[in-house]
Amino acid sequence: MGLFDRLFGKKEEPKIEEVVKEALENLDLSEDIEAEEVSQEVAEVESSEEAVLQEEENQDTVEESLDSEPTVEVSQEEIEEFPNSEEVTEEENTELQEPVEENSSEVLEPERSQLEETVQEKYDRSLKKTRTGFGARLNAFFANFRSVDEEFFEELEELLIMSDVGVQVASNLTEELRYEAKLENAKKPDALRRVIIEKLVELYEKDGNYDESIHFQDGLTVMLFVGVNGVGKTTSIGKLAHRYKQAGKKVMLVAADTFRAGAVAQLAEWGRRVDVPVVTGPEKADPASVVFDGMERAVAEGIDILMIDTAGRLQNKDNLMAELEKIGRIIKRVVPEAPHETFLALDASTGQNALVQAKEFSKITPLTGIVLTKIDGTARGGVVLAIREELNIPVKLIGFGEKIDDIGEFNSENFMKGLLEGLI
């Protein structure tokens, strides 16, 4: 089953064999039901006759008890055998109170769990601006057109570009819809609404190979983070350190952005806040030397996850490329197969500029995944589709907001559901 069918359901006609089978089953069930109804009616008549006889016997018993005084004396003696009736009542009250307390704790437990967001709720919250912005434009678009013509497709392409899905994505999708409209002989715009959403999902799905999982190792996992200043790279590293430590991992950070004092101080503060060690060097030190110290310490101390923060001076690409290549050689000198992940941090609110950054960094160093930050404060979440289509770099981590636990591993199904829910 494809991604679209899993998210929004598959519309298909039932097979003729299934229809016949269901009809035969219904026929047999109806006969059983009729027989059961007849037996129920007989049972009801018999039970009503028994009820009448029982009522007559009860009346005779009541009349006999009224005429019999010894029965009253015996019941009085039985009552006198329990002189401490108040104590019994207290014990009964105590026994009654205990299950009430248990029930009350069971009632409170779901209320506490409701305060914690599920992963899908985080996606829905974070993508609300993107979803409502795209949805409002799409609804307005369909309201303005009464027929499917060339102007319809031109306006649709412009709408998709404004939604930050990228020029290439918009162009390819519009061409596919032109073909689909001819194939289906669609005359009304509403006939293409579901097709548009389906094409967007298929565009992300491609061959079904998402490669979204992080390549954790049995021993040391080395993660290298790149990205321009101000995109939330260092903050993402700090939040991930908290996440992995909460999961029971031994975490260490390396402050390799040595030319910007603020970056080192920020990472050191995150280390103090989440209680993980941070490897730093002297001001203006060679970033590769700091990385080497961090790698040796990580191996010696049995660290599970080592995260390395690097400079993001994209305006000086030659120097940055040389620096990252040197860092890569130093890492491999200690652990030949590392780094296991090279993440590019991108600010979703920059829209198409984020796509430009991804293209430039992919020329500088091989990238295994993207950390998408600040998605909650923007309506430009469609840039994920552009990155997927034009660069084929998977988004592996996503930031949902400002809280320390507002980061998680990216899930395409949760994302597409949060992005497109309610548009069909």
Confidence of residue 65 (pLDDT cuts 50, 70, 90): very low
Please state, in angstroms and as integers, the Cα–Cα distance from residue 356 to each residue in 12, 324, 347, 353, 361, following that order.
41, 19, 12, 5, 9
Bridge partner list, 223: 307, 341
Higher pLDDT, 412 or 11: 412
How many residues would you count in the chain?
424
pLDDT of residue 296: 96
Is the pLDDT assigned to residue 92 strictly greater than 90?
no
Average pLDDT over residues 327-356: 92
Which pLDDT band, with edges at 50, 70 and 90, does 212 fall under?
confident
Instruction: Express as a percent the part of the chain with pLDDT over 90.
Output: 27
CB 243 within 8 A of CB 258: no
CA–CA dist 108, 197 (Å, integer): 41
* Rounded Cα gap, residues 374 and 308, in angstroms: 21
Q: How far is Cα 351 from Cα 103, in angstroms, rounded to an integer? A: 51
Structure confidence at residue 309 as a pLDDT band (50, 70, 90): very high
Percent of the chain clearing pLDDT 70 (strictly above): 69
> Which sequence spans correspond to the domains of the chain?
13-61, 122-205, 221-413
183 vs 355: CA distance, rounded Å: 33
Q: Rounded CA gap, 168 and 298, in Å?
A: 43
DSSP assignment string, 199-232 = HHHHHHHTTS----S----SS-EEEEEE--TTSS
Whether pLDDT at 42 is above 80: no
Write out pLDDT tens, residues 26-37.
554 444 444 455
Class of domain 122-205: mainly alpha
Return the pLDDT at 198. 81
Look up residue 306 and give its two tokens.
Answer: 């080592």
Read off the pLDDT band of 210 (50, 70, 90): low
Q: DSSP state, 304?
A: S
- Mean pLDDT, residues 370-388: 79
The amino acid that residue 376 corresponds to is: D
Mean residue pLDDT of the chain comes to 75
Minimum mean pLDDT range among 71-75, 96-100, 372-376: 96-100
CB-side exposure of 140: number of CA atoms within 13 Å? 8
Q: Give mean pLDDT, residues 8-27.
A: 52
pLDDT at residue 115 greater than cutoff 80: no
Is 60 exceeded by the pLDDT of residue 56? no
Instruction: Report which of residues 194 and 215 the model is more confident about.
Output: 215
More confident of the two residues 248 and 46: 248
Q: Given a cut of 60, is residue 281 above it in pLDDT?
A: yes
Contacts of 193 (CB under 8 A, 6+ apart): 138, 142, 423, 424
Measured CA to CA, the distance from residue 73 to residue 116 in angstroms comes to 64
Q: Does 421 have pLDDT greater than 80?
A: no
More confident residue, 104 or 204: 204
- Predicted confidence at residue 244, as pLDDT, reads 96
- CB-based contact 279:319 (threshold 8 Å): no
Class for domain 221-413, per CATH? alpha beta
How would DSSP label each residue in 9-32?
----PPPHHHHHHHHHHHHHHHHH
pLDDT at 231 over 50: yes
Task: Give 387's pLDDT tier (boundaries 50, 70, 90).
Answer: confident
Average pLDDT over residues 332-361: 90
Handedness of CA 279, 284, 287, 292 (dihedral sign): negative
Q: Where are the alpha helices (DSSP H) in 257-351?
A: 261-274, 287-300, 317-334
pLDDT in tens, 120-156: 788 778 777 777 777 777 778 888 888 888 888 888 8
Q: What is the pLDDT of residue 51?
A: 53
Q: In angstroms, rounded to a whole number, what is the distance separating the alpha carbons of residues 131 and 253?
A: 35
CA distance 422 to 424: 6
Q: What is the mean pLDDT of residues 291-295?
A: 97
Looking at the whole model, is its pTM more than 0.85?
no
Under the banding of pLDDT at 50, 70 and 90, the label for residue 246 is: very high
Q: Which of 323, 125, 150 is nearest to 224 (CA)?
A: 323
* pLDDT above 90 (res 219): yes
Residue with more model confidence, 7 or 305:
305
Mean pLDDT, residues 303-322 taken together? 88
Q: Which residues of 375-399 are buried (b: 16+ CB within 10 A; e: fewer)?
A: bbebbbbbbbbbbbbebebbbbbbb
For residues 306 and 252, is the Cβ–Cβ distance under 8 A?
yes
